Chains A and B, each alone.
Chain A
Amino acid sequence: MFSLNEQVALVTGASRGIGRAIAESLAAQGAFVIGTATSASGADAISAYLGDQGAGMVLNVTDAESVNQVISDIQKTHGGIDILVNNAGITKDNLLMRMKDEEWNDVMSTNLTSVFRTSKAVMRGMMKKRHGRIINIGSVVGTTGNPGQTNYCAAKAGLIGFTKSLAKEIAARGVTVNAVAPGFIDTDMTQALTDEQKESIFSGIPAARLGKPEEIAAAVVFLASPAAAYITGETIHVNGGMSMV
């Protein structure tokens, strides 16, 4: 019911953090996993940790050609992608009054336009197979908002609208599209927070701790599995009770 044997998964941004935990968890359930990094050394490291269960590839999600190339290479070598996890993401925080066009555009293209590109590129294969799973990694702040993150929250909220719309478009073809929205998770992205910031964040988290990347991966594995075939257009919040929506 939860086995992913003989399925091929693509996880963007699998070099570290949440993406790495997702790649490892999908592989542990039997999937063959392609994980991506932005550098060749990152891709090699992914190949090393996945072993026989997958491979690392170089991908820049903001580059349309890179996306199409990687996906068509995977289709040639592994015969199509069953599970797409759009995980790659960045933050470029600033108060709106100080936010530069570049900060806005970089976050939009890495966190939102990328999802349009990769999803479009896997669509034909999934529609033909009458099976597929697209899982987008959002964020709790896409729903709650967060000062200093108008760009990031707009992109993550946009991702939910995208998820729902695409879910409706292709539900009849056996393809589900869902989002997982992490709260504060212990990765490089949150390492940048000061102790003071962490203290104030903890006070708003009933579980009183940061989440672990594997706790996000568990929700992704569930959505990718045959058990979740009737769940589509949903967002699963994994945030220790920080926000209940």
Chain B
Amino acid sequence: MSTIEERVKKIIVEQLGVKEEEVKPEASFENDLGADSLDTVELVMALEEEFETEIPDEEAEKIRTVQAAIDYVTAHSEE
């Protein structure tokens, strides 16, 4: 079983079509990984599916970096 971090990174690689080594924790989807706002929405959709959770819009808007995505999923899968 892979860790949350690995699963989140795998989704980012797939959704944004970037290389694994580019997916650094501090990387911003829009500024560093070439995503536009719609790509980010789709990324959140993919995270929702992978982790079988629903991410409310106001939370989704805060998920702008790799670390923010990992943190959100980590915090919400422990509940």
Contacts and interface: CB of A to CB of B under 8 A. Distances in A.
Interface of A: 124, 127-128, 169-170, 172-173
Interface residues of B, number: 3
Nearest to B41: A127
Contacts, number: 8
Consensus secondary structure, chain A interface: helix
Contacts of A128: 45
B38 A170 contact: yes
A159 to B, nearest CB: 22
B42 interface: yes
Interface of B: 38, 42, 45
A186 to B, nearest CB: 41
B54 to A, nearest CB: 11
Contacts of B45: 124, 127-128
8 contacts: A124-B45, A127-B42, A127-B45, A128-B45, A169-B38, A170-B38, A172-B38, A173-B38
B36 to A, nearest CB: 9
Contacts of A124: 45
Contacts of B42: 127
A134 B38 CA distance: 18
Contacts of A169: 38
Nearest to A173: B38
A124 B42 CA distance: 8
Contacts of B38: 169-170, 172-173
B78 to A, nearest CB: 26
B11 to A, nearest CB: 14
Contacts of A127: 42, 45
A173 B42 CA distance: 11
A128 B42 CA distance: 8
Nearest to B37: A169
Nearest to B46: A128
Contacts of A172: 38
A131 to B, nearest CB: 15
B4 to A, nearest CB: 23
A127 B49 CA distance: 14
B14 to A, nearest CB: 13
A232 to B, nearest CB: 15
Nearest to A128: B45
